[in-house]
Amino acid sequence: MQLLTFGPERATPISEYRSQHASAVALASGHGEAHVYCLHLDAGGEIGAHEAGFAQLFLVVEGSGWVSGSDGRRQPLGKGGGVLIARGEVHAKGTASGLTAIMVQLTDMTTTSAACAV
């Protein structure tokens, strides 16, 4: 499991296409079958431990929660934070107060160095 941050402080300015006041954080690249979801977890919501069928990029866009790997240790995640879960990795996620996340699943995926948490 790789923790990620994608707030504006990690972004690179976009200079193409006459862009102004715009920046981006490259998060990951990959190949294979792909799925994209907007996931809503209400307060107390949880998705229990299971093996990832795809590599999974889980990005919190509102609220806060946690993610755990096979060791069960909960890692906190808040808005602008995320995690890359490898295909086959046992993981779980949840929240005490509620969260909204974008979840991207690909057959195989790797993060870029710009997004890796320090």
**pLDDT digit string, tens, across residues 20-36:** 887 878 888 888 899 88
- For residue 116, what pLDDT is reported? 65
Is there a domain that residue 90 lies in? Answer: yes
Is there a domain that residue 10 lies in? Answer: yes
- For residue 115, what pLDDT is reported? 58
Name 18's Cβ contacts closer than 8 Å, sequence gap at least 6: none
Q: Look up residue 20 and give its two tokens.
A: 């102004």
Structural domain including 99 reads: 2-111
Q: Using CA atoms, how far apart are residues 29 and 42, in angstroms rounded to an integer?
A: 30
What is the number of domains present in the chain? 1
Is there a domain that residue 86 lies in? Answer: yes
For the cut 60, the answer to whether the pLDDT of residue 118 exceeds it is no
pLDDT tens figures, 60-102 = 999 999 999 999 999 999 998 999 999 999 999 999 999 999 9
CATH number at residue 26: 2.60.120.10
- For residue 88, what pLDDT is reported? 95
Is there a domain that residue 117 lies in? Answer: no
> Which of 30 and 50 is assigned the larger pLDDT?
50
Give the Cβ contact number of residue 69 at 10 Å.
17
Is there a domain that residue 33 lies in? Answer: yes
DSSP 50-110: EE-SSEEEEEEEEEEEEEE-TT--EEEEETTEEEEE-TT-EEEEE-SS-EEEEEEEEEEEE
- With 0-12 / 13-18 / 19 or more C-beta atoms within 10 angstroms meaning exposed / middle / buried, residue 80 is middle
